[in-house]
Structure 1
Amino acid sequence: MKSTTTGRAPHRPLTRVPHDGAAPSDRVDPGGFRVEGLDLHSHRLSDRHGTVVLGLSPYNSFYSTQTVTALCRDAAASFDDVHVLLPGAPETALRQICAGKPPRRAVLRSKRVIHNMRNVARRTLAECGVSDTDSRVHVMTRFAGHPRYREIRGRVEAAYRTCAPMRNAVHTMTRAALTGFVDAEPTPAQMEANARYIFAEAPLLLDAPAVLGCDRALFVYHRRVPLYDVVAGGRVPGLDVGPGHVLSVLTDERDHPTPETRQDR
């Protein structure tokens, strides 16, 4: 998959709005998150990647209000271009529907959860001096009409039907997403239904720069993403990770900082 500039919006650098005369770095306490061997708030990380994308998962207990707040603060302390990504309500509700909740109730509940998490991210970034947070905290449905988003999603869906490594990667991710929602091993029908969640996030997992309109981007998530791994490993014909795009696993050392973490701070 070769990145193009088709549909790419002009990149707008982040503008910080001072609060009470204090620089953002004066207000931010490092949250204890590590990426690529560096603290998330490290300027060495921002110099390397330019833009950071924080992937959030509404029903994952890791992404508590406290964690989302700390992540946004750490990212805004060093990166001049911060984006936060949340799934849409229809995809998020799929897990609850598989667990037996009526679809309408599942979607309404998902909307509330996403709305609350989105507000936490927007409020935190604003407190860190980031302006225009609405254009930086995204729900994936925002990109449904984006040409590059549609192209990548279509290729991923096609690969899911024809390529065993892609199909296995998607099933691994759907199985993990359904853990805690269904009592037993997910059925093939449940995994098939929840694959739509993975399809919806795939374009940002594989080529955030093309979708967001930036030159480079570091996508950060709290665990490995098999879909990214099989594409980055060249195991899916016709799909490549976009130029300038990197996905890295976040480690949480808030409670147990290592000597390296303390030194880097």
Structure 2
Amino acid sequence: MATASVLMADAFEIQPCTPHRRVIRDEGAHAVIGVSVGNGCFSAGRLHDLARWGLEHFGRVDLVCADLYVAEMYEAFGYPPGEARRKAAKSLRGVRAKVRNAVTAAEPDGARLRRQPMSRFRADAAYQEIHRRLWRQLDEDDDFRALCDDLVGRFLSARGEAAEARQRAVCLEYVCAELPLFLDAPAILRLPSSLVCYHQRLPMAELPYGRGAGLRASRNQGRAIVTPAAPSHTANSK
């Protein structure tokens, strides 16, 4: 896979995954900024910075909280059901509050900046169709299923977890709930183009942009890795 050069923009480094996706970044129509639950990278300060950065460089921005299958993931990794639900509820309250505060501080009137839970998209017809197509391909395409299973195993291994059957099943559901945004956020959000931003590479998110996987992102869908710039870079980024 070709990799575009890193773009410097204020306090963050932006690395689009291909040269074409760099064009989408330069258009600046829209960004989805993904926010994970239970991830220490998403401090209150980081979310405030990301909200301001998004408004400076994109016409519209959605901070999307990955709020699906959180309790199920905790349970799959060994928490008793009741404790898993309580831990998920506490984690979700915390991250929702931080996202809400960041959005309100950056743009009180909410004209261009929104906070969105991933769960809200499940009622959207475009999301539902992409999600159905994804699971249909998993059922019908053995090569694609094997690739997804391998990537889930790598994801779990990176967490230092043994890839047990229950963990693999929940992880696959969690990832497939998020993949529609990597495939066609413009269709789901009714926008001309969109760049999905996250702070690290996600193995499953590579699928829509690779070759031979049987799964393709739309031409107006981009993905980028967005990380804080080194202090020496920030001063020279303008």
TM-score by length of 2: 0.80
**Which residue pairs with 2:167 in the alignment?**
190
For 1:201, give the aligned amino acid. E
**Mapped contact 1:58–1:113 kept (Cα < 8 A):** yes
**Which residue pairs with 2:43 in the alignment?**
64
Distance in 2 (CA, whole Å) between partners of 1:32 and 1:144 is 33
Structure 2's unaligned 5+ residue stretches are 1-8, 17-22
| More helix by percentage | 2
User: 1:208/1:245 Cα in 2 relative to 1: closer, same or farther (>3 Å)?
Assistant: same
**Which residue pairs with 1:257 in the alignment?**
231
**Which residue pairs with 2:221 in the alignment?**
245
* 1:55 has 2:29 as partner: no
Shift in Å at residue 96 of structure 1? 1.2
TM-score by length of 1: 0.72
Distance in 1 (CA, whole Å) between partners of 2:92 and 2:150 is 24
Aligned length: 223
Which residue of the other structure, out of 68, 81, 99, is the alignment partner of 2:60?
Answer: 81
Alignment partner of 1:208: what SS? helix
**Which residue pairs with 2:138 in the alignment?**
160
* Deviations, residues 33-88 of structure 1 (Å, cap 9, x unaligned): 21138xxxxxx986523101100111222222222222112212332311011122
**Which residue pairs with 2:100 in the alignment?**
122
RMSD: 2.9
Shift in Å at residue 164 of structure 1? 2.8
- In the TM superposition, structure 1's runs of 4+ consecutive aligned residues that sit over 6 Å from their partners are none
Distance in 1 (CA, whole Å) between partners of 2:107 and 2:235 is 26
Distance in 2 (CA, whole Å) between partners of 1:186 and 1:173 is 8
Segment of structure 1 superposing worse, 97-106 or 241-250 = 97-106
Between the aligned residues of both structures, percent identity stands at: 22
Distance in 1 (CA, whole Å) between partners of 2:157 and 2:103 is 30
Which residue of the other structure, out of 215, 232, 238, is the alignment partner of 2:192?
Answer: 215
Structure 1's unaligned 5+ residue stretches are 1-29, 38-43
**Which residue pairs with 2:5 in the alignment?**
none
* Deviations, residues 167-196 of structure 1 (Å, cap 9, x unaligned): 43454346535755xx64221332122211
Shift in Å at residue 258 of structure 1? 4.7
| More strand by percentage | 2
Alignment partner of 2:235: what SS? helix
Residues 91-130 of structure 1 correspond to what in structure 2 (within 5 A)?
91-130=69-108
Alignment partner of 1:240: what SS? coil
Distance in 2 (CA, whole Å) between partners of 1:130 and 1:139 is 19
